[in-house]
Every structure is written in C-alpha cells, then in structure tokens.
Chains A and B, each alone.
Chain A
Amino acid sequence: MDSLTLPLPSSLRSKLLEAGFANTSAFQHLTPLQLARDANISHQEALAILKTVSWMNCADQYSKEEDILSSAKTAWDLLCYEKSRKKLRTCCSELDTVLGGGFKPKELTEICGVPGVGKTQLGMQLSINVQIPSEFGGLGGQAVYIDTEGSFMVERALQMAESMIDYLKYATSSCESTVGLGMSLNVDTFLSHIFYYRVYDCTEQLAVVNSLEEFLKEHREVRLIVIDSVTFHFRQDFQDWALRTRLLNGMAQKLMGLAQKHDVVVVLVNQVTTKTNGEIVPALGESWSHTCTNRLILSWSNGCRQVHIFKSPSLPAATASFAVSADGIRDVESSKRIKLCTISSP
C-alpha cells in the first residue's frame, strides 16, 4: 500500500516520503523510536502512524502490545481492593485492631511462638472463623488445615464451633430480620468445611502443597490455608541445609502464588529455637524470615499471652494481648488484666 493513502496530515506525509517510507510495508517491524528517529518526527507522531498502519492492516499489533499493562493494576485499584477486601477476624478485638482488621487474604502470615502459647489454637480458631457467613461480616469460606504435628484436636474444634454458633445466634436474636440466619447454622456444616490433611514427612508436605492448586480449583470456597507447623518435618532428616532452604522457599513461593490467585489467607505456623546464647528465635533461619509477608510472634508476658507484630509491610509494630478460653481465642477480660497487674507489680 502506498504511504500516500494513509490518513495523515500532509506535513507528516511529506516527512515520511522524504525519509523514504514510500510503502507501508516499510513500517513493519519498526518500533516507534526507530521511526521517530528515521523520519525526524516526534514520538507521539510516530506511534500514531504505526497504530494507523497496523489498524489498516488489521494486525492490531499495538493494541496487543499494550497488554503489558492490562495485567497490571494501578495503585488506586489496589487501594480500592485493600479497602473493600474482607479480613479474617480472630475473635480477639485487640488482636484484630493491631492487625488492621484481621488476617489479610493474598498474604502469607507466619505465627511463631514458644510451645503451648496458642499457635495451634489460633490456627484452629481461624479455620472456624473463616466460615462465618458473609451476612455476619465474615468471609463465608472454607478452610484447608495441613497438620504436620498431629496437634489438631477434633474435640477442641467442636468446642470452638459450638461457641461460635452460640455467639452468632445470640448476635442475630436481637434483630428480627436475621433470626432465620442464625437458626440455619449448625456444627456439622462448620466441621465439614475444614479440610484436614495429616502429613507425616516432608515429602508428603511438599506433595500436599503441590496438589493444593488442583484442590483449590475443585473447592472454590476455600479462603484459608493453615500449615501447622511448616517447621516440624524440616527440622530433622536434613543434612543439606542449602537444599532445605531451597525447598522451603519453593514451597513458600507456591503458596504465595495460590494466595494471589485464589484470594486466600495463608497462615504458616513456625516453631522457635534456642540459640547457643540462650536467646529464643523463630526456627528455620534467616533466609526463611524473608519469605513471609507478615510475622507475628506469640509470647508470654506477666502470665498473659501476647502477640507482637514483628514484621509487616503495612502495619506498625504493635503488641496485643489475647486469651485462650474454653470458647477459643478471646479478648483478655479487663478485670483479669487488672488483677494480674496488681499481683505482678510488687
């Protein structure tokens, strides 16, 4: 096709002819920058010419190339998402506050702490809480619980589910329109929506993480993945530390991908280890500590359980107290806290 037939201003057309672009076929495989330089025209003009040519050839090469951005999101989009996304609440208002509303989907959150401080309890509570129907402001999802230590207790999950249902029923009983909602809840549905894997060695752990992709495709309601604990099988049977780091990082990357793609909350429980100088630090070493988006450290302080936000890209460092009661993770009652303070002050 002759360049003269192009719908262009005459000055531009003459510039093109001057530079020797007599035929449109010459425009093929040209980048805007090359054309601008060769024809001595501005970048905008060059791009406009190339777009016109490709549109006339029905090639639409340029609209495709802009696809680079189509998969990107603007910070504004992300801001809107952050504001609109529902977070996974913990039943402990103090903890929710310091977490900025709860555990966030699409993020890896690591929970570290000494034995018996309540890591598993928190994991179990979250797998109940993720099922709170959206009418109650919950996520209305399901949970995958990968248990490597065998510490998931069915009895305890039952207790937590029962008290959660009692609470939801109580919450709805005051309002006429929602009474029916509360009545439709039952323990069996809660328990049947926790998918439980018991993992006996690190190969199985890797296998489960590998096959989660498919599982999540079949179970689109899953909004929470808990691995309790990510550490246990990786603390023995490994002579090759470099290999361990590689495997752990690979696993974390897969989880990160799942979290992004399926919009799930990923909670990884980690153990602590005693360094030679007696200091207590999270296990799995320095390189692992870069892997997770957030790191929460659970500890004891004056006979009270505390969560400390050790690492987070979006939250300030903060500390909150929580309690583990018969119902699950709850607020420390204010009365009890005062009592504890008075005892420990002398």
Chain B
Amino acid sequence: MASRLISAMGLDASIAHRFSARNILTAKDALCRTELELMELLDVPLDVVLLAISCISKKSCPPCHTILSVLKERMKNEPQLGHLPTLLGPLDQALCGGIPFGVITELVGPAGIGKTQFCLMLTVLAVMPDPFGGLNGSVIYFDTEQRFTSQRMVEIAQHKFPNILFTEAMIKQLAARVFVIVPTSVTELLDSLQKIQATIIEHHVKLLVIDSVASLTLSEQSVTRQELLGRQASALKFLAESFRIPVIVTNQARAMSTALSCQGVLHSVPVSDAHEGIDLQLRAALGTKWAHAVNIRLIFEYSEGRRWIRIGKSPVSAAVAIPFFLTATGLEHDENEIPSATEKDVMTIYGFGGL
C-alpha cells in the first residue's frame, strides 16, 4: 500500500537514513518523484537511487495472481462464484447468477421507478439465512435521501418468502442486521468509508448500499465534485474487492438541455415517459468519470408503459432488457411475452447498449 513506510522495507541502513532525513517516508513519497529528483535530494549516485527504487517498488507492488488461481480460490470459497441472486430470472441469467461480488453495481433511473425498492429487496436477500438463498450477513445501508423504511423491508421479506413464518423474534433478528447510516455530506460519507473496515469484519457485512450517491454530490461544488467522486469510487472498489462483497449505488437520471444531450448522446439514458405522454431526454447524473468508475450499470426506465431494467454496462453480460413491475414482494419479473423485435427496437432507437 501507498502508506507503507520506507524504513520498514529493508533498505540499506545508510540509504534508509537518507530517505528519512529528507522527509521521504512512504513509498508514495519516493515513487512520486523522478530518479533525478531523488538523486538531487538524497545526494547519492544514480545506481544507488535505482536500486532503492526497485527495492521500494518490489515491496509495495501488489501480489500477482494468475486468473486460474483467482478462479480456483473463488470456487472454493464462494458458491455460485460470488453472486447475490436478485431472483429476477433473466437478470440473474444475464449477470451470470446475480449481482457480482467485488464490483460496484450502479442503478440509475428517473425518480419513482423502483431503485430504492430494488435496494431494499437486495437488502432482504442479503440478510436472509443461507437455506433461503440469502447471504446470511449484515448490510450497511448509506441512506442519503432518507428513503429507507424498515416497514417496507419487512413487508418485502414477508411476501418474498411466504413459506417462512416470520415471528417477531425472527424479524428482529433480521432487521438488526441492517445498519442504516445517514451521511449529510460527501466528506462524511468518505470518512465513514475509510473507517468502515472494522465494522465489515465484525458484523460479517455482506452488502454495501449507497442510496443515492448522486444527491450528496450534486450539492457539492462542481470543481471538487469530480475529485470527491473519484476518491469515493476508489474507496468503494477497494472495499468491494478486499472483502468480496457486492456494492450497490443508486444514481439519478436528470433531464439535460438538448444541446448537451445531442453531443453526449452516447451515454444518455433516453426515456419516453408514457404516463405523461411526453418524451424526456434523460441522462445519468454525475458525468462520464463516474460512469467509468462503476463496473455494472443497470438502467431503470419506462418504455411502452412498462418498467424495464436494462443492462447498460457490464463486463460479463449482453445488453438485455427485462420488464418488471413493483409488487408487495419488491420487484417482480413481468413475464408477459415480449416479441424479440420489440426488444431490439428498444436498443436501436435509443442508440445505447447496441446489441
């Protein structure tokens, strides 16, 4: 890691002393300088500097795995190769078994389409015990818009698993596993993300939800916003991968001025709102940098009077769209037959997702 101390890297005592005397204490301090700069600062010949750099690099270099060893390790520890099933048939199928562990999955869509519902449903699935297809762990839920309702969560649980008799004790046990944190600013959120490691280990956290990542950031000044978003993405990725847990974030879709949306139409999320009968040109908030940072983007949208989840970006799956409706059980796959041509049209007309 970047903050590793040079003094603990087993360099020659004399050269290590020179580093500390020049206040170059961590690997970051050393590697963010050119060889020439270091020669100046440390007053030693080039070959000594090169030797020191290669030693520091070796010590702070992350371990190398082959993909085979990663795969074997995962197969050993994780059933279904590390996925949290959403129980929406075609979506699970497209995502190779559900929301993958270790990556950031973003839900983006207009207000009221069911993003929070989806989060609540996944929360339920994550806290349920193993035999019922859950992950049997805790959930940390960052609720920036104060949308989390435990009542609805319990309702989803009861309807999702009708065969289980939910006693008061069981509900208590399940609900006690969900930790809701309400951050008021991005810096606060970032702070909690830095300190969260211990909590994740202690409470066997199996899912991290941020609902929504946009609302806090949008109030931030636009100059620092991108910087903060980048740091946030970096922190989330680190947590997701180190602990092998899925991370869900929600993002808003916002109407854009036509001039902008014409140029940026490639990653726009055009939605025709059938209920209001007007066409809105919508785009995911937070811009391209954030869109790079998320690994999987699920786009929630209205089309032809139905609600759809479309896979907008994913390293593993094709761009499929799944219709759904909201019920007492959360989200449910709308199994009415869809002619395949319609599905293709959806892609083509909106020029996104392309396949």
Contacts and interface: CB of A to CB of B under 8 A. Distances in A.
Given A116-B297, A206-B32, A300-B266, A233 B234 contact: yes
B171 interface: no
Contacts of B288: 114-115, 271-274, 280
A255 B100 CA distance: 32
B325 interface: no
Interface in B225-239: 226-227, 230-231, 234, 237-238
Contact of A196 (B31, B58, B70): B70
A62 B348 CA distance: 70
Contact of A232 (B66, B70, B293, B347): B293
B267 interface: yes
B316 interface: yes
Nearest to B256: A278
A157 interface: yes
A208 B347 CA distance: 40
Given A115-B313, A215-B64, A272-B288, A210 B57 contact: yes
Contacts of B349: 343
Contact of A207 (B57, B266, B291, B352): B57
B64 A115 contact: no
A304 B241 contact: no
Nearest to A219: B64
Contacts of B89: none
Contact of A199 (B28, B32, B62, B293): B62
B103 A151 contact: yes
Given A199-B62, A206-B31, A149 B313 contact: no
A96 interface: no
Contact of A157 (B67, B318, B348): B67
A303 B345 CA distance: 10
A58 interface: no
Contact residue range for chain A?
A: 35 or more
Interface in A165-224: 188, 191-204, 206-208, 210-211, 214-215
Contact of B2 (A157, A193, A203): A203
Given A116-B297, A204-B62, A250 B34 contact: yes
Interface in B85-124: 96, 100, 102-104
Interface stretch (A22-30, A82-90, A235-243, A258-266): A235-243
Interface stretch (B160-168, B199-207, B257-265, B272-280): B257-265
A153 B100 contact: yes
A323 B237 contact: no
B27 interface: yes
A203 B100 contact: no
B198 to A, nearest CB: 18
B289 interface: yes
A278 B260 contact: yes
B10 interface: no
Given A278-B259, A300-B351, A194 B66 contact: yes
A120 B315 contact: yes
Nearest to B297: A116
Interface-central residue, A202, A206, A278, A325, by most chain B CB under 10 Å: A206
A115 B297 contact: yes
Nearest to B314: A116
Contact residue range for chain B?
A: 35 or more
A294 interface: no
Given A188-B68, A200-B1, A114 B234 contact: no
B44 to A, nearest CB: 18
Contacts of B241: 150, 198
B58 A211 contact: yes
A324 B294 CA distance: 19
A210 B2 contact: no
B13 interface: no
A326 interface: yes
B240 interface: yes
Contacts of A154: 67, 70-71, 74, 81
Contact of B355 (A200, A279, A323, A343): A323
A274 B60 CA distance: 33
Contact of B60 (A195, A196, A204): A204
A67 interface: no
Given A115-B297, A151-B103, A279-B263, 10 more contacts: A198-B62, A198-B241, A203-B26, A203-B28, A272-B292, A280-B266, A280-B288, A300-B266, A339-B344, A343-B345
Interface of A: 114-117, 120-121, 124, 145, 149-159, 188, 191-204, 206-208, 210-211, 214-215, 229, 231-233, 235-237, 243, 246-247, 250, 271-274, 278-280, 283, 299-300, 302-305, 323-326, 339-340, 343-344
10 contacts: A155-B100, A157-B67, A192-B67, A195-B66, A196-B67, A203-B26, A271-B288, A272-B292, A299-B266, A325-B355
